[in-house]
Amino acid sequence: MSKYIGKNSSDQSIIAVSLVTALCLIGDSMLYIALPIYYKEVGLQSLWEVGLILSLNRLIRIPVNPFIGLAYRKITLKFGLMIAVFLAVVTTIGYGVGYGLIIWIILRCLWGVSWAFLRLGGLFAVAECSTNSNRGRLMGLYNGLYRLGSLFGMLVGGILVSYLGLKVVGIAFGALMILGFPLIAWLVPRKHVERERKVSTNTSITRLFNKSVILVVISGLLLAFIIQGLFVSTLSLVMLKHYSHQVQIIGMTIGVTSLAGIVQGIRWAWEPFVALKFGQLSDGKDGRLPLFIMFLTSAAICLALIPISMPLYIWIIITIFFMLSTTIITTLVDALATDVGKTSDINIVMTYYTVFLDVGAALGPIIAYLIISFGNGLNFSYYIGALIFLIVAAIWLREYKAIVKEQRRQPNSSVIH
């Protein structure tokens, strides 16, 4: 991996922001594995409340993100991350001591504000440190490193909750996040997000939100709905449905929450390598769209197979290949968003891009758990997700053909990468 990471200040800045983000993510990631199974331990009464709790942090970010974007014009990245770490510590410890729906609503809203500071800070850092020749690589570096927090949260959290309970693990993870303060103090540069924009103040809304911007934003919404919302929040239920509370694997008996954590955690283990490698490949002469379309299609096929009953080992292989595809998809759509943002107003485009990501991710658990309440709803929700992947792939294939045609007609034309 070291051969893909330079020693310049841009790489170092992205690495610092990514590590702080990873540390703050461990508590949130643990919840997606543990809460659907252990929700009664923290005072929740039904699965619809679980869906609400897993969605609230994203719902709160929808109105909050624009204000965070404005805040980053006034405060340094270092100060914004300090706020994020403080809120992450408070909320994660709260997972261990809080009880009942109202308390959990408050905790998840606070975490939503924390993640808004983290996510926008990271995207702004990549946008300002990158050029057309390295944007995919830096986005892959950022995405890959910060998701190490999800690896730790899902893998270690899924295992620990099975033995220690959700309350103990929540307090322990919250205490661990305190390490984020010295990391910020030592590693994050004291700089402001770029304040002066290259776009004239008289620029029309139709130029800011042109076809390319709208296409990327809507794609981000739909993909977040499936990957971050539906899949992450329901995978443990799929495993529970097919394989019960305990499963036999490589001669050992293991709890379904532990196995779900291991399966999802595998994704975060390859993120630093796969996201970085494919991000760099997308900086090449063929651009990002061929890779994007190919992995959208493979993800659709795998997602349609996941809810089908089959031998455990085959199911795990299909699920892993789905997660591999989504690692690449997520990095490429983030890079595409940054591409179009750099041709417009990066602050506005990236702020609204994150807003729509949060809308999709928030709707995922809510709609999935509503569908699950009907007969065979769990399978049906996955089939809907697969169809959405295919539709997005078809739209981008049409866009790619139009771009190729335009480039042949005008070789020097400026089009999406």
Query: pLDDT digits over 229-241, tens only?
Result: 888 878 878 887 7
Flag whether pLDDT at 106 surpasses 80: yes
Nearest CA-CA partner of 154 in 255, 266, 310: 266
Flag whether pLDDT at 405 surpasses 60: yes
Flag whether pLDDT at 26 surpasses 80: yes
Is 417 within the bounds of a domain? no
Quote the CA–CA distance of 256 and 260 in Å, as a whole number.
6
Is 197 within the bounds of a domain? no
Backbone angles phi, psi at 219, to 5 degrees: -60, -45
Is 201 within the bounds of a domain? no
Nearest CA-CA partner of 358 in 13, 55, 35, 3: 55
Please name the residue that has the structure tokens 């909320």.
91
Residue 162 pLDDT grade (very low, low, confident, very high; cuts 50, 70, 90): confident
Mean of per-residue pLDDT scores for the chain = 83
pLDDT at 233: 79
| Degrees to nearest 5, angle at CA 367 with 27 and 144 | 40
pLDDT at 304: 95
Residue 115 pLDDT grade (very low, low, confident, very high; cuts 50, 70, 90): very high
The pLDDT of 79-96, averaged and rounded, is 93
pLDDT at 196: 42
Asked if 137 contacts 4 with a C-beta cutoff of 8 angstroms, the reply is: yes
Backbone angles phi, psi at 254, to 5 degrees: -140, 145
CATH code assigned at 164: 1.20.1250.20
Residue 250 pLDDT grade (very low, low, confident, very high; cuts 50, 70, 90): low
The pLDDT of 164-176, averaged and rounded, is 91
Asked if 364 contacts 228 with a C-beta cutoff of 8 angstroms, the reply is: yes
- The range of the structural domain enclosing residue 89 comes to 2-190+206-409
pLDDT at 199: 44
Residue 396 pLDDT grade (very low, low, confident, very high; cuts 50, 70, 90): very high
Is 299 within the bounds of a domain? yes
Nearest CA-CA partner of 110 in 235, 193, 46, 24: 24
Q: How many domains does the chain have?
A: 1
Q: 201: buried, middle or exposed (CB in 10 Å: 19+, 13-18, 0-12)?
A: exposed
Residue 339 pLDDT grade (very low, low, confident, very high; cuts 50, 70, 90): confident
Where is pLDDT greater, at 391 or 62?
A: 391
Is 24 within the bounds of a domain? yes
The pLDDT of 380-386, averaged and rounded, is 92
Please name the residue that has the structure tokens 């709803």.
377
> Given CA atoms 220, 365, 278, 273 in this order, what sign does their dihedral have?
positive
Tell me the three-class secondary structure of the chain, residue by residue.
CHHHCCCCHHHHHHHHHHHHHHHHHHHHHHHHHHHHHHHHHHCCCCHHHHHHHHHHHHHHHHHHHHHHHHHCCCCEHHHHHHHHHHHHHHHHHHHHHCCCHHHHHHHHHHHHHHHHHHHHHHHHHHHHHCCCCCHHHHHHHHHHHHCHHHHHHHHHHHHHHHHHCHHHHHHHHHHHHHHHHHHHHHHCCCCECCCCCCCCCCCCHHHHCCHHHHHHHHHHHHHHHHHHHHHHHHHHHHHHHHHCCEEEECCEEEEHHHHHHHHHHHHHHHHHHHHHHHHHHCCCCCCCHHHHHHHHHHHHHHHHHCCCCCCHHHHHHHHHHHHHHHHHHHHHHHHHHHHHHHCCCHHHHHHHHHHHHHHHHHHHHHHHHHHHCCCCHHHHHHHHHHHHHHHHHHHHHHHHHHHHHHHHHCCCCCCCC
The pLDDT of 312-326, averaged and rounded, is 91
What percent of the chain has pLDDT above 90? 30
Is 196 within the bounds of a domain? no
pLDDT at 197: 44
Identify the top-confidence range among 196-200, 261-265, 295-299.
295-299
pLDDT at 2: 46
Q: Which two tokens stand for residue 229?
A: 């919302």
Is 414 within the bounds of a domain? no
